[in-house]
Amino acid sequence: MKKIRQFLFFLGMTVSFIVVVVTNYSLNTKIVFGLIYIIIVLSICGGIMLENRSPYKTLLWMYAIIFFPLVGYVFFIYSGQLEVKGHLFKKKREKHIEMMKKMIHCRPSELSQGFNEKEKSFADLVETLSQHPLSCYSQTEVLKNGDETFPAIQEELRKAREYIHLGYYTLRDDKVGMSIIDILCEKAKNGCEVLVYHDFIGSSLSRKTIKKMRECGVRVHGFLPLRRSFFNQKLNFRNHRKIIVIDGKVGFVGGMNIGDEYIGEGKRFSFWRDTHLKVKGEVVQTLQAAFLSDWFYITGEELPFSKYKAKELQNGDGGIQVVTSGPDSSQSVMSDLYHAMVTSAKESIIIATPYFVPNKDIRTALKIAAARGVDIKIMVPRKNDGFLTQYGTNSYFGEMLNENINIYQYEKGFMHHKILIVDDKIASVGTANVDIRSLQLNFEINVFLLHSKTIQQLIHNFYEDIKDSHKVEKQAYRHRSLLERLKESFARLFSPVL
C-alpha cells in the first residue's frame, strides 16, 4: 500500500509539474493542476510530520520537497526513509527472531562466575538487546591478514563432509576468489551441500562463474539484486556480513572479504591489514542461524534447523557472544553495544576502524570517557579507499583531539579491520565499522569477547600496528590547509550514508 501511494504521489506530481511548467494549456487548467500539486505536497509533508522525526530533520525534508520539485521527493523516498526502515524488513526481522530462539541454546557454565560485575552486566545487555546468549563453551583464534586467513579457510573447506554455508559482502572471481570457488565446486560435486550468497552490490561475480558454480551443484544467490530493490527502497541496505560455517564444527567471521585486494594484490593498495576470527563450539550455531535467516530472506527456502547442529566443546576460552544487527533489528543494536562499551570504560579504549564516522551518541560517550581520564586510542588508515570516506573520517579528528584523544593513521597500507577493546577485558571484532552506515543501514555481524585470551592477541597486534602508524598532532591538524578543511566539510555532509 505504501509503495502504491508513493508511486501515485510521484505520478501526480510529475504530471502536474509538466502541465504547469512545460505545456501551453489554458490558465484555468494550469491552476487546477497547480492545486493538485500543492495538495500532494501538503499530504507528503503531513505524512513526514506524523513520523515524529527530530524537528530539524522534519523541516529539512519538508523544505527539500517544497523547493526542489520531484527531485526532492525522489531523494526522500530513497534516503529520507532510512530512519523509518522497520517496515521494509518486518518479515525478515520476525523470521530472524524465530530462528534465533529455536537454534541458539548455550549451556550454563561455572566459568562465568569468574567474570566481574561489569563483564556480567555487559553480557546481560548483549543478550537483552540481541537475544544472543553468552557461551562459555566456544573458542576463537585470531587470523591476521590474508596470508593467515585464506589458508585457514581453504584448509577447513577441504575437510568439509556434510555442508558448507558461505555468505559474503564481497566475493570476486579473481585469483583468491577462484581458489575458494574451486574448492566449493569440488565439494559440491562430491555430495556436500554448498550454499552461497553474496551481496549484489558489493560482489563482482561474472555470469560465467555463477554458471560454473551452479553446474557443479553450488547453490548461489545475490542479496537484494538491483532489479528487485530499486523500486522498493532497499537499494541502500546492503549485507555486509562475512560468514562461513562448515559441518557445524568451525566457522569464520571478521573483516575480510574474498578478493585479491585482501592479500595486497589489488589495484590501489600493496598491503592490506585486516583481522578475521576462526570460531568453534556453541557460537558456530549463532553464525549458522544468521546464515539461515539471510538464506530464507533471499530464497524463501526454510531449511530444517535440526540438520545444522554445532559440535559441542568440553571447554572454552572466556565468554563469547555473536551478535547480528541490521535494518531488520528493532533498534540499532550494534550502535547501542558500542556505546555501552565506551561508557563502561574505566582505564582504556582501543578502536581500529577504516571508517570513523561516529554518530552523536558515540562521539559524546568518547568525549565524556576522555574527560574521566580514560586513555583512548583510535586508529584509522592514512589513505582510505574513497574520497568521501577519507575526508569524512578526517573531519571528526578535531573533536577527538580537543579532548586529548589519541588518533593514529596507519601508513603501511590500507587498514580494514573493525576492533573495539575496553579495559583489556571486553572486545568486539567483526564486520561493523564505527560509522553510520554499519550501525544503522547494513546487515552486520560481530563477535563480542569477555575475559578471553584472544583479547590479548588483539591488543598485541594493535600496538604492533602503532609502529606502522603516524600520530596525528593537534597543532598540525589545526594548521591544515583551507582546501583540506573544505574537503572534510563537503565529505561530512554525506556522513549519514558513508
Burial 303-331 (b: 16+ CB within 10 A, else e): beeeebebeebeebbbbbbbbbbbbbbee
Q: Locate 89 and state its grid cell.
A: 524488513
Whole-angstrom CA distances from 144 to 278, 383, 460 are 11, 20, 12
88-116+137-317 and 333-497 have identical folds = yes
Beta-bridge partner residues of 443? 239
- Contact partners, residue 333, CB within 8 Å, separation at least 6: 129, 130, 323, 324, 325
Give the distance, in angstroms, between the CA of residue 123 and the centroid of all CA atoms in the same chain: 21
- Element (DSSP H or E) covering residue 39: helix 27-50
Q: Give the start-to-end residue ranges of the domains of the chain.
A: 2-80, 88-116+137-317, 333-497
User: d(Cα 156, Cα 245) in Å, to the nearest integer?
Assistant: 10
Taking the C-alpha atoms of 35, 37, 43 and 45 in order, what is their torsion angle to the nearest 10 degrees?
-120
Give me the pLDDT at residue 5, please: 84
Backbone phi, psi, residue 409, to 5° = -110, 115
User: d(Cα 127, Cα 319) in Å, to the nearest integer?
Assistant: 12
User: d(Cα 409, Cα 407) in Å, to the nearest integer?
Assistant: 7
Beta-bridge partner residues of 471? 408
Nearest one of 273, 315, 329 to 441, comparing CA atoms? 329
User: d(Cα 95, Cα 28) in Å, to the nearest integer?
Assistant: 54
Q: Locate 44 and state its grid cell.
A: 507528503
User: d(Cα 96, Cα 99) in Å, to the nearest integer?
Assistant: 5
- Contact partners, residue 256, CB within 8 Å, separation at least 6: 146, 149, 242, 262, 274, 275, 276, 416
Give me the pLDDT at residue 185, please: 97
Q: Give the end-to-end CA distance of the chain in Å, rounded to a whole number.
A: 30
User: d(Cα 89, Cα 86) in Å, to the nearest integer?
Assistant: 6
pLDDT in tens, the chain (498 residues): 677 888 889 899 999 999 998 898 999 999 999 999 999 999 989 888 887 777 767 887 888 888 887 888 887 776 655 554 555 566 666 666 666 666 666 666 666 667 888 888 999 999 988 888 899 999 999 999 999 999 999 999 999 999 999 999 999 999 999 999 999 999 999 999 999 999 999 999 999 999 999 999 999 999 988 665 444 556 678 899 999 999 999 999 999 999 999 999 988 899 999 999 999 999 999 999 999 989 998 998 888 888 888 888 878 888 999 999 988 776 789 999 999 999 999 999 999 999 999 999 999 999 999 999 999 999 999 999 889 999 999 999 999 999 999 999 999 999 999 999 999 999 999 999 999 889 888 999 999 999 899 999 999 999 999 999 999 999 999 999 999 999 999 998 877 666
Give me the pLDDT at residue 338, please: 97
User: d(Cα 215, Cα 144) in Å, to the nearest integer?
Assistant: 34
User: d(Cα 328, Cα 100) in Å, to the nearest integer?
Assistant: 13
What value does the CA radius of gyration of the chain take, rounded to a whole number of Å? 24
User: d(Cα 247, Cα 119) in Å, to the nearest integer?
Assistant: 31
CATH class, range 88-116+137-317: alpha beta
DSSP secondary structure string for all residues of 434-450? EEHIIIIISBEEEEEEE
Place of cell 572486545: 427
Give me the pLDDT at residue 229, please: 47
Taking the C-alpha atoms of 454, 458, 461 and 462 in order, what is their torsion angle to the nearest 10 degrees?
-170
Give the distance, in angstroms, between the CA of residue 66 and the centroid of all CA atoms in the same chain: 33
Asked if 384 contacts 358 with a C-beta cutoff of 8 angstroms, the reply is no
DSSP secondary structure string for all residues of 358-400? --HHHHHHHHHHHHTT-EEEEEEESS-SSHHHHHHHHTTHHHH
Q: What is the 3-state secondary structure (H, E, C) of 248-274?
A: CCEEEEECCCECHHHHCCCCCCCCEEC
- Active-site annotation, residues: 240, 242, 247, 416, 418, 423
Whole-angstrom CA distances from 402 to 339, 363, 477 are 20, 12, 11
Annotation: CATH topology of 333-497 = Endonuclease; Chain A (3.30.870)
Beta-bridge partner residues of 243? 167, 253
User: d(Cα 443, Cα 166) in Å, to the nearest integer?
Assistant: 15
Asked if 430 contacts 444 with a C-beta cutoff of 8 angstroms, the reply is yes
- Element (DSSP H or E) covering residue 35: helix 27-50
